[in-house]
Amino acid sequence: MSDGRLRLGILGSGKGSNFVAIADAIRAGSVDAEVALVLSDVSDAGILGHARASGIPARHVAPGRFRTKLDEESESAVIGSLREAGVGLVVLAGFMRILKGEFLRAFDGRVMNIHPSLLPAFPGLEAWRQALDYGAKVAGCTVHLVDQGIDTGPILAQRAVPVLDGDDAATLHARIQGAERELYPAVVGAWARGEIRVRGRMTSGFREG
């Protein structure tokens, strides 16, 4: 099953542009990893279509009875599928459910997320809109490891973008997503090369460019 490359398990609920950016970077040879499995809690999510179109195993997992998290049965199914696929790094790419407890114990220190703000500013939903409504002049995105909190785990990398006069939620979001599509593959690539070190909240080893 394995050629020794890091095996990624990607979880998403939406259109999958971050997944596509990572898969493109793998194809281009700048990320030495393999997408072993894509899972979504949304049966018609674009991310599943993108994965299937490139021949990557992709599966819908019914999330169960909660709105913001997976129920126990669903969480076990996700953990089981990722383990079965030999996943070494879980990459959250627009996954809209909170993962805690059992899941984080199963993949301790090996769950990455991208958030559309410069954390710790604007955690939670629609962070670009929060930045705009606050009057921030700089926005951006953060790649971080996932811990028990919401958008609180150790920061691995950040990229800033300006908030321009005349921006609305859509134009600012698009600019942030452009930054995400470059930053996320770069961080996953550095992780795959073993360059990133994590000691508590302190991380090092990621360099831009």
Q: Which residues bind ligand GRF (CB under 6 A)?
A: 12, 14-18, 47, 93-94, 114-116, 177, 180
Q: Which of 50, 60, 115, 173 is catalytic?
A: 115
Task: Quote the CA–CA distance of 104 and 120 in Å, as a whole number.
Answer: 21
Task: Quote the CA–CA distance of 53 and 27 in Å, as a whole number.
Answer: 14
Whether residue 115 lies in the annotated active site: yes
Smallest distance from the beta carbon of 7 to ligand GRF, in angstroms?
Answer: 20
Minimum CB distance to ligand GRF smaller for 94 or for 185: 94
Smallest distance from the beta carbon of 142 to ligand GRF, in angstroms?
Answer: 9
Smallest distance from the beta carbon of 136 to ligand GRF, in angstroms?
Answer: 16
Task: Quote the CA–CA distance of 147 and 157 in Å, as a whole number.
Answer: 16
Task: Quote the CA–CA distance of 155 and 127 in Å, as a whole number.
Answer: 16
User: Which residue's beta carbon is nearest to the bound ligand GRF?
Assistant: 94
Minimum CB distance to ligand GRF smaller for 76 or for 169: 169
Smallest distance from the beta carbon of 30 to ligand GRF, in angstroms?
Answer: 18
Minimum CB distance to ligand GRF smaller for 87 or for 114: 114
Minimum CB distance to ligand GRF smaller for 86 or for 178: 178
Structure tokens at 90: 């879980």
The residues assigned a catalytic role are 115
